[in-house]
């Protein structure tokens, strides 16, 4: 046996401990059947750290903040797309923005939160749609806030560099926006231009902790992340979203997410859209 190779098998006891560390540090309820996926992600990190046993790795996760952050990066799933779920963008462009602009108090700035932003495709989609709206309505002002628990994806989001499938998909869906808001770095790589990047403020935030800003956002995009949480945890996260939204603020969820079985103060407005109501 190569002494520096991470062990191949994990005991049931260590697996349970690993899953409870995932839960403790990310709030994600991961089932034991995800074992192979998790171990495939963790083993290269153990190799880099010259750790051979899962027990040693878990000790480091608990004692060393840098290893803990790496562990969070590895435990999270970060798939994202520009203009993910067209119906959401049709609603945001044709209903939400014109209504908000018509009803807004004088001089106010629209505040949008992409609350599990991954590498930033959702936040930049919001910024591009807002920018296009601003062309028709020069008095419109907006600010996009974006957060995630993974430092790795936040770094990538801030760089705004995309390649391969995610970029190709965007070019196909919105060729004109690609021409307008992307810098071509190479035939397979592009970067969101400086202007759009400046409209988005990224920060690290764990959705299971209290809302960083109370009564602040007009609309929150909380998409494709609740699926990773248990129902009681979803309710806690939604309570934090309630607190962060302004009165009558809206919440947008992912295609496979619904609040219908949960105890919350959100009211169904239309598919994937919920409205904050009085507590
Ligand atoms: C599948 S991606 C969804 C990205 C984007 N919202 C979308 O719909 O395309 C889920 C993201 O949620 C983040 N995440 C998972 N648990 C989190 C938590 N407790 N707090 C904040 N973000 C979390 C992950 O790091 C990941 O980037």
Per-residue pLDDT at 1 exceeds 50: no
The answer to whether 139 and 104 are in contact (CB under 8 A) is no
- If you ran DSSP here, which 8-state letter would residue 270 be given? E
Q: Which own/partner contact pairs does 212-216 have at CB distance under 8 Å and 24+ positions apart? A: 212/147, 212/244, 213/244, 214/243, 214/244, 215/243, 215/244, 215/245, 215/246, 215/247, 216/111, 216/244, 216/245, 216/246
Q: How confident is the model at residue 247 (pLDDT cuts 50, 70, 90)?
A: very high
Token duo for residue 114:
């992409």
Is the Cβ atom of 224 under 6 angstroms away from ligand 1?
yes
pLDDT digits (tens, 9 = 90+) for 4-59: 789 989 999 999 999 999 999 999 999 999 999 999 999 999 999 999 999 999 99
Query: What structural domains does the chain harbor?
Result: 12-75 (1.10.155), 86-276 (3.40.50.150)
Query: Does the CB atom of residue 152 touch ligand 1 within 6 A?
Result: no
Which residues, including other chains, have CB under 8 Å from residue 164's CB and lie 6 or more apart?
188
Taking the centre of ligand 1 as the mean of its atom positions, its distance from the CA of residue 34, in whole angstroms, is 17
Is any atom of ligand 1 closer than 6 Å to the C-beta of 234?
Answer: no
Residue nearest atom 12 in ligand 1 by C-alpha distance: 116
Cα(79) to ligand 1 centroid in Å equals: 9
**How many angstroms does the Cα of residue 102 sit away from the middle of ligand 1?**
32
| pLDDT tens readout for residues 45-95 | 999 999 999 999 999 999 999 999 999 999 999 999 999 999 999 999 999
Which atom of ligand 1 sits closest to the CA of residue 80? 9
Q: How far is the CA of 118 from the centre of ligand 1 (A)?
A: 6
Q: Per the confidence metrics, is the pTM higher than 0.95? A: yes
Quick check: CB of 208 below 6 Å from ligand 1?
A: yes
Kindly give the distance from the C-alpha atom of residue 78 to the centroid of ligand 1, in angstroms, as a whole number: 6
- Measured in angstroms, how far is the CA atom of residue 115 from the centroid of ligand 1? 8
Q: CA-to-CA distance for 159 and 151, rounded, in angstroms?
A: 13
User: Between residues 107 and 117, which one has the greater pLDDT?
Assistant: 117
Q: Is 119 in the pocket of ligand 1 (CB under 6 A)?
A: no
Report DSSP letters for 138-173, one per residue. TT--EEEEEEES-HHHHHHHHHTEEEHHHHHHHHHH
Q: What is the pLDDT of residues 128-180, one digit of tens each?
A: 999 999 999 999 999 999 999 999 999 999 999 999 999 999 999 999 999 99
């Amino acid at each position: 046996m190569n002494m520096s190779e991470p062990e191949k098998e994990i005991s049931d006891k260590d697996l349970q401990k690993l899953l409870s560390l995932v839960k403790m540090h990310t709030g994600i309820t991961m089932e034991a059947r995800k074992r192979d996926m998790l171990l495939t992600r963790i083993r290269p990190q153990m190799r880099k750290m010259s750790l051979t046993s899962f027990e040693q790795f878990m000790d480091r996760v608990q004692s060393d903040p840098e290893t803990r952050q790496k562990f969070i990066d590895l435990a999270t799933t970060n798939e994202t797309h520009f203009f993910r779920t067209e119906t959401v963008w049709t609603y945001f462009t044709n209903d939400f923005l014109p209504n908000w602009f018509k009803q807004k108090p004088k001089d106010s700035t629209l505040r949008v939160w992409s609350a599990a932003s991954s590498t930033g495709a959702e936040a930049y989609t919001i910024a591009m749609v807002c920018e296009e709206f601003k062309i028709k309505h020069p008095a419109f002002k907006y600010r996009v806030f974006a957060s995630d628990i993974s430092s790795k994806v936040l770094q990538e989001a801030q760089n705004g560099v995309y390649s391969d499938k995610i970029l190709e998909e965007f070019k196909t869906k919105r060729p004109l926006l690609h021409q307008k808001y992307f810098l071509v770095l190479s035939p397979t790589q592009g970067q969101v231009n400086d202007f759009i990047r400046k409209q988005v403020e990224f920060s690290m935030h764990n959705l299971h902790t209290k809302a960083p800003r109370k009564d602040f956002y007009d609309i929150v995009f909380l998409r494709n992340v609740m699926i990773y949480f248990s129902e009681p945890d979803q309710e806690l996260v939604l309570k934090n979203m309630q607190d962060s939204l302004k009165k009558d603020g809206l919440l947008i969820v992912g295609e496979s997410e619904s609040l219908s079985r949960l105890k919350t103060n959100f009211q169904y407005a239309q598919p994937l859209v919920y409205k904050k109501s009085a507590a």
